[in-house]
Structure 1
Amino acid sequence: MDDLNNKSNNIPFIMPMDFENLDLVAWRVEQGIPDANNPLLEPAMPWDAGGVFAHGTVLKDPIDNLWKAWQISASIATPFRPGTWRENRRITYLESPDGTTWYRPNLQLFPWQDYEHTNIIMDIWSSYASVNIDTNRDLPYEMFAFRDPDYPGASGEIPGLQLKEGASKHLYGLYRYQSEDGKKWTPVEGPIDLQTEDSCYIYRNEDKTYTAYHKTEIPAFPGGLAPYDIGDGGVRLITHRTSDDGSKWSDPPRLVMTPDWRDPSDTQFMEICPTKIAGGYVATATVYHNHTQHIDLQLAASRDGINWWRPQRKAALPNPPLGEYGGGMIWPMRKPILDAGKMHVYYSGVESIHGDMYNTEKSGPRNLKAQGEIINRQSSSLPDYGALCRATWESDRLWALLSAMGGPYPGTATTHKQKLGGKSIFVNTLTIKEGELRLELLDESGKIITGFSENECIPIQGDHKRIKVKWTERPIPDNAVKIRFILKRALLYGFETN
């Protein structure tokens, strides 16, 4: 199966590249609606008392139609090195019949003290479980995950995996596993040479090749330094790699998401988590705000998975107030899930911020001050105490183009040249109050074609996810090559010609 693909009959989304000219318009990004049942699963067992975290995969299994999650859980953290905590991260397994009611299956793979049954499927230290399923394989389940056999309390080895030639022990890195049932896993190879230490998701494509999006770091941009950040002096960016077999990866990595002059100086990217929809790819971008140590989610779009655009550069899933799940950080699972016209994003809503920025004891020897506050000088990282949550969007209404002025003032968007003769035009639109959407057709010189002007277009009003644009009953002539949208209190989510 195509791990990035979700087939859909929706009208494709729109991007700035679709238009030759934009005048008095702006982009609106829709915000995800937190599930009424949030949190879907809270810390409750000793092995997840320190947090039900993300860094994993949620999907709907095509084999048995159950919703499943392979995610990180941690026991109570303890102080470790200066500014950091020891988090005993394990990969745990969850199931749900409906995507909202989640439970911990009673497995006998890794007992915990007096608990003979747990939902632990991979012991410490483990993270970033990328799971794909192919029903045509003898072992349909495949996982890529980071392992650290040398972490304090870990076993010191990857059981069942031979050492690489010349190696004396298993090293930290990305390991590959296979499974018959998605619960008991057998190591196949590792560590894989991907030149990344964390924040990496792997996707299997329809042609059985692989795609990876992972974090990298370069020296911080001007204004981006935060001394209390665990990655102080660096800026986190997202790169893209490909592989024919999941073992050997393209090199060097290709930068695909970086902040630029339109972003605040502390903008960094931890992850992008894509899925394929009508028009290309949509992803959540895990945006790290270094100066406040918060993480929220923006939406990103791409036609090819390489060139990404973030509509409005505004949080599509913002943080609630600190102290609530997600108030500090929102860490999404590996990919959004399309189901019954909705796009679900599963995430760990983390109460904590990323680092201990307000520690006054570590502010010396001369206090670091900012507007009356004393700020930590020591780089730091806090444990991720969170719970499993979900937010939902309409899968075909993630962002829209509309008038920048609002009210009675229209905005226009004119497409690039394309063959329109004999075709029909369909739009996905929603109008506000007395608003309306009209179209006019232009020839190659930009002249309005007689019979297909704005005034001759039958205005579209209301809520329509797929409606045909009409002027007269005449077919669109062959000299029509451009569409001009006239938006008056109207949201344009997409269009197509066929």
Structure 2
Amino acid sequence: MFSRTMLSCLTIGVMVILPLGIADPLGIAGEPAQPLEVGSAKQLLFDERFMAESENVKIVMNQPKKLGPVLKPDKRWEDFRFTSYFTVLQEGDLCRMYYSCFSEDQWNYDEVEVTWRDYAFLCYAESDDGIHWRKPNLGIVEYNGSKDNNILARSIVDGTVFIDPKDVPERRYKLLHTVGAHEGGLRISSSADGIHFNVSEKPVVPWCPDSQQNMFYDQRRGKYVAYLRAVRELMGIDANEWRMVMRCEVDDLDDWSKSDPQIIFRPDADDPPDVDFYTNACSLYPWAADAYFMFPAAYHHYPAEYGNDGLLDISAAASRDGVRWLRPDRGPYIPLGTKGEWDAMFNMMGVGMVRQGDKILQYYNAVDFGHGGTRDESLDIESAQGRRRWGWMGAAEQRLDGFYSADASYEGGWITTPTLKFSGNFLELNINTSSAGSAQVELRDESGQAIPGFTLQDCDTIMTNDVRHRVSWKGNADLSALAGRPVQLHVEMRSAKLYAFQFVEK
């Protein structure tokens, strides 16, 4: 049960009071608070922003539905494996995947520089539906005497591709990456078409984070933001600490002098001591207001005598500003498969999402052995024992806005929002009441009094599973007379999940 006083949220290692953009429903020094302006933007329920008061309602993480593998290594240049570092972009009906692979054993330490230089590739695939992928022949990079392949570049493994809305069309696509085995400094390459990249020879910073280099333009903040594995020497990380996420913010991609790296996600006292977080797959959610999601790989280490080995699955975190993060539920977002399945021991989320109607597709790389399970022997063709062409890409299907929800118990519960101001004519809910559940909505004034005509008794009972159910009161759904006025939403539910709400125009 939440209350007015429970407005602080526990982030990873930090207690944050009143995150950016959240109005204080109690006001400062006892003064009345200003209403929270929600306009006509969709609002998600993954924290207490819209739960000034509640009873028998809690925030719950919702696991997506696994759809199985959608892309496998089947080319000679993919002969060793796909890596876990990849990006998915959606432009209209076209889905693009940028992934990396090795044709030879990348852990052949006798020739590691040669392996990462000559046998590591950045590749490209595309799809019309996000499920069925093709590998077009691009004619860019020669492999074994032929350019008849889908290779974009050599020796780039850890990159993330993003669209830059600020730059000229000739540099619309950006690729943040290092070269080789995370060497050569952090670089930004560019492309006009997302296929032909001018690979930068000059780093923007000298340091080289391990793992995937993730960056995007944050239109909410008007800045470029990078989410990277924290560099131990740069951040002063203790020798007994492992993987964590740092964030950099820049106005100019060529000038990182004021990037101010900060650690924003790390294990805390509620995590087991032998767990750290690998890749982050952070993104700004484009279909709602003030919503960022991160899907870090939780790495649970085996005992030290097993070396750098252990299990990885995919967890989830949410933020209103991309800086302060919370984990309402610390269980796995995409759990490991059962023993013997293709994703039984090692899962990592790729960067990006695809929207298909009212569904969200996400993608992860997985194998059925642990982090160190392949490093004790060279996996040449003779000794592969079935472990060639591993690291498949799988898809998972999530409900639109469905990562988290405010869930009412079977016995019933309720939430009351802080005072809001909206624009629009109708109220729509993304809600699932279940067959035995229901919901009603009451509109109240800023003093908490029910507005005549919009009481619980007037509300037409909601019994549905709908991403945009229009609320009505005795058949009337028109709220235009209340637009711009301070109101509170009071929602009573039984056996229901409320994902989001939105005031919409006609």
TM superposition score normalised by structure 2: 0.73
Q: Secondary structure at the match of 1:182?
A: coil
When structure 1 is superposed on structure 2, of 242-251 and 257-266 the one drifting more is 257-266
What letter is aligned with 1:138? E
Who is 2:28 aligned against?
Answer: none
Q: Distance in 1 between matches of 2:326 and 2:179?
A: 33
**1:120 maps onto 2:131 in alignment:** no
Residue 254 of structure 1 corresponds to 262
**In structure 2, how many angstroms separate the alpha carbons of the residues matched to 1:480 and 1:180?**
47
Instruction: Give the partner amino acid of 1:317.
Output: I
Q: Deviations over 1:130-150 (max 9, x none)?
A: 2436695134433222113x8
Q: Which residue of 2 aligns with 1:160?
A: none
Query: Paired residue for 1:390?
Result: 395
2:190 to 163, 166, 178: 178
Quote the Cα distance in structure 1 between the aligned partners of 2:300 and 2:374.
10
- Tell me what 2:132 maps to: 101
Q: Please give the residue correspondences for 1:78-93 in structure 2 after superposition, counting only pairs within 5 Å.
A: 79-81=107-109, 88-93=119-124
Q: Distance in 2 between matches of 1:479 and 1:118?
A: 60
Q: Which moved more, 1:136-145 or 1:448-457?
A: 448-457
Work out whether residues 70 and 93 of structure 1, in 8 Å CA contact, stay in contact via their aligned partners in 2. yes
1:432 match: 434
Contact 1:424 1:469 in 2 (8 A): yes
Deviation at 1:272, TM superposition (A): 3.3
How far, CA to CA, are the matches of 2:413 and 2:155 in structure 1?
56
How far did residue 79 of structure 1 move?
4.7
- Structure 2 gaps of 5+ residues are 1-39, 303-309, 377-386
Letter in 1 for 2:190: Q
Of residues 273, 288, 292, the one that matches 2:298 is: 288
Distance 1:76 1:187 in 2: 23
Partner residue, 1:318: 335
1:22 partner amino acid: S
1:81-105: per-residue Cα shift (whole Å, max 9, x none)?
59x9976432112233433222333
SS in 2 for 1:413: strand
Distance 1:323 1:212 in 2: 36
The aligned counterpart of 2:216 is 203
Q: Which residue of 1 aligns with 2:420?
A: 418
- After TM superposition, the runs of 4+ consecutive aligned structure 1 residues lying more than 6 A away are 84-87, 420-423, 474-480
Kindly provide the amino acid, as one letter, of the partner of residue 213 in structure 2: C
Alpha carbons of structure 1 residues 397 and 422: separation in structure 2 relative to 1, 3 Å: closer
* Structure 2 counterpart SS, 1:334: coil
2:495 to 485, 489, 498: 489
Query: Equivalences for 1:39-438 in 2 at 5 Å?
Result: 39-61=69-91, 66-77=94-105, 79-81=107-109, 88-113=119-144, 115=146, 117-124=148-155, 126-132=157-163, 137-148=169-180, 172-193=184-205, 195-198=207-210, 199-206=212-219, 209-216=223-230, 233-249=240-256, 250-270=258-278, 271-275=280-284, 276-291=286-301, 293-356=310-373, 385-403=390-408, 406-407=409-410, 409-419=411-421, 424-438=426-440
| Matching residue of 2:21 | none
Query: Residues 418 and 109 (structure 1 numbering): CA distance in 2 closer, same or farther, change over 3 Å?
Result: closer
The separation in 1 between residues aligned to 2:423 and 2:357, in whole angstroms, is 34
**Distance in 2 (alpha carbons) for counterparts of 1:121 and 1:76:** 18
User: Do 2:160 and 2:213's aligned partners in 1 also have CA atoms closer than 8 Å?
Assistant: no
Counterpart Cα distance in 2 of 1:259 and 1:25: 27
Distance 1:195 1:462, change over 3 A: same
- AA at the equivalent of 2:83: F
CA offset at residue 424 of structure 1? 4.8
Aligned residue identity for 1:417: T
Q: Is the 8 A contact 1:144 1:176 kept in 2?
A: yes
Q: CA deviation at 1:490?
A: 1.4
Match in the other structure for 1:33: 65
Three-state SS of the structure 2 residue aligned to 1:47 is helix
Q: Say if 1:76 and 1:420 are closer, same or farther in 2 by CA, change over 3 A.
A: closer
Cα distance in 1 for residues equivalent to 2:85 and 2:328: 25
Q: Which runs of 5 or more structure 1 residues have no equivalent in the other structure?
A: 1-8, 152-170, 220-230, 360-381
Alpha-carbon contact 1:26-1:401 (below 8 Å) kept = yes
When residues 90 and 429 of structure 1 are mapped into structure 2, their CA distance, relative to the original with a 3 A threshold, is same
CA contact (8 A) 1:174 1:192 kept: yes
